[in-house]
Amino acid sequence: MSNTGRRALFIFFCATAASAQIQNQADDGQWTMASKNYAATRYSTLDQIDTGNAKNLKLAWTFSTGLTRGHEAAPLIVNNTMYIVTPFPNILYALDLTKPGAPMKWVYEPKPAPASQGVACCDVVNRGAAYYNGKIYYNTLDVQTVAVDAVTGKEAWRTKLGDINLGESMTMAPIVAKGKVIVGNSGGEFGVRGWMAGLDAATGKIAWRAYATGPDKDVLIGPNFKPFYQSERGPNLGVKTWAGDAWKIGGGTGWSWVSYDPDLDLIYYGTSNPGPWNSDMRPGDNKWTCTIFARRPETGEAIWAYQIFPHDEHDYDGVNENVLLDLNIKGQNRKVLAHPDRDGRVYIIDRTNGEVISAETYGYVNSTEYVDLKTGRIKVNDAKTTGFKTTRDICPAPPGTKDWQPSAFSPKTGLLYIPHNNLCFEMQGTQANFIAGTPYVGALVKMYAGPGGNRGEVTAWDPVQAKAVWKVKEELPAWSGAVVSAGDVMFYGTMDGWFKALDAHNGNLLWQYKVGSGIVAQPVIYKGPDGKEYVAVLSGVGGWAGAVVSGGINTVDGTAALGFTNAMSDLGKYTTKGGMLYVFSLP
């Protein structure tokens, strides 16, 4: 750690004397993994930009990626170099921050198979890279993990982890914990069996792979597996909670975030919804889909698991981020993870054992009633179930109250900043559809704005009191990540292209800047070689919500893009496509 780093850490400790304690991790002003740190707080200790001067923020420089699909990645900043991973074809750019305008140092092109574009369910996005020990690690859409020398841009290794021919793809941002690159697959829509894997960071050799379905030996459940709730105990639940051998194609992919607690030596991640059948076809709890796992990073061994949503039928993946916090709740110091789920609840879970401490709603929810804290089981509202029937006004919609877009936590305010959606949907099993010449009956999914008429929202959540402190409405789904700083400024972007700075205390708008295309990426904060604080974000609308613009979907068909177009048919009026990095600083 550098001197600057120690100083930052010291300031940081002083600042966190408040009720909420963040997991202690040094901050040297760099941004070495998508979620900023192992705890996934997306909190920067930099405080040059504050609530008083944020209004003076100016554009410092820009960089065009030359691509037009959804840009979801977080730039990395390591050793005065910025690294940007693009959507397909997953180009890695290295930009020299020591020179004016940050010219390109090198570019690395992994050349993923073009066919992988057809496999991606929801636009051909990539959520970013991780830096570790001189290398940049990231995934390509055609199911490979690559390691690239951070200085030279030369490929160190690449490992093929799956088969795009079978519908697998990769979009998530890895982390590197204890020398293992942790990566997971996407593609639950195509009959893929979900997994998370640990690769040796030096060689790319696959050290372990843990499936989300199937017998315990495949899920890496052994004698040390101690889930908190009774319903998670018993042998081979990954087989027994499925009909027949449906578990072999049961989904539960790991397409999103991984966090890590070095003290407990546990990684945490959530698995996606079950697939590929509709819910009628897969009776049972369908373990271990929609589940949070705690595993050892070196071996993948499962230590505990909590299934957030047994037998999911609303497409409520459990993949959202797990932000690791040390909180004082009801007089007790608890090591928790905060997980704002697709189902509309912020789960505060004891990360040592998987006990749910609270699970209150942060948006409008009618599909479920409550989570029973004694059994851990969610109570589904029977009037809002889906199936081969018409069900109206189900909230939240399949992208959930929040999809992949990651929240940020400030230890100074003690609040979790959650950019999210406000969408409901109706479902009718009537529409004819077809694949490869074969007709069938499609589920007609139409999404629309939830109560209030706004499709997005930013909520500041108190994880101790389990309630919202403030909310800001957004016309469109807030599909970008959040970042927050010690200057008490919280940043996020909107799909109509506004990059915004809010006062972290009250949500007041401090500053905004209109970028070229809608923002669906993860903003980051870093210290430049000149000692100044910078805020960077990729613009470039896309992703599931933005595919209506970036994919050129016919908006006459409200059920295209898995039902999202109906809710987003006017997006083309607000924004056009195109990937561009924007970097801001004070004058």
Which positions touch another protein (CB under 8 A)? 115, 118-119, 121, 163, 165-167, 189-191, 243-246, 249, 275-278, 280-283, 315, 388, 429, 431-443, 551-554, 556-557, 559-561
Query: Which residues partner with 535 through β-bridges?
Result: 525, 584
Local structure of 156: helix, strand or coil:
strand
CB of 553 to another protein, least distance (A): 5
C-beta separation of 188 from 272 below 8 A:
yes
CB of 432 to another protein, least distance (A): 4
CB of 497 to another protein, least distance (A): 23
Local structure of 97: helix, strand or coil:
coil
331 vs 437, which CB is nearer to another protein? 437
Question: Which one of 37, 90, 139, 273 is the catalytic residue?
Answer: 273
Q: Kindly list the distances between the CA atom of residue 293 and the CA atoms of 32, 262, 399, 458, in Å, as whole numbers in the listed order.
A: 24, 16, 21, 27
CB of 167 to another protein, least distance (A): 6
14 vs 435, which CB is nearer to another protein? 435
Question: Which one of 27, 123, 168, 189 is the catalytic residue?
Answer: 189
189 vs 496, which CB is nearer to another protein? 189
What is the Rg, in whole angstroms, of the alpha carbon atoms belonging to the chain? 22
Task: List, in sequence order, the alpha helices (H) in 328-433.
Answer: none
| Widest distance between CA atoms in the chain | 65
Question: Which one of 27, 142, 218, 315 is the catalytic residue?
Answer: 315
C-beta separation of 119 from 186 below 8 A:
no
CB of 389 to another protein, least distance (A): 10
Do the strands 81-85 and 291-295 form a parallel or antiparallel pair, or are they unpaired?
Answer: unpaired
Local structure of 169: helix, strand or coil:
strand
Residue 320 annotated among the catalytic residues of the structure: no
Closest C-alpha among 169, 172, 253, 157 to residue 205: 157
Local structure of 217: helix, strand or coil:
helix
* Residue 380: how many other CB atoms lie within 10 Å: 18
Residue 315 annotated among the catalytic residues of the structure: yes
Residue 236 annotated among the catalytic residues of the structure: no
DSSP state of 230: G
C-beta separation of 429 from 387 below 8 A:
yes
CB of 191 to another protein, least distance (A): 5
Dihedral over Cα of 167, 109, 87, 533: its sign: positive
100 vs 439, which CB is nearer to another protein? 439
CB of 236 to another protein, least distance (A): 15
C-beta separation of 395 from 452 below 8 A:
no
CB of 559 to another protein, least distance (A): 7
Judged on CB neighbours under 10 Å (0-12, 13-18, 19+), 14 is exposed
C-beta separation of 581 from 62 below 8 A:
yes
216: tokens are: 């315990």
Distance of CA 542 to the CA centre of its chain: 15
DSSP state of 308: S
104 vs 441, which CB is nearer to another protein? 441
Catalytic annotation, residues = 189, 273, 315
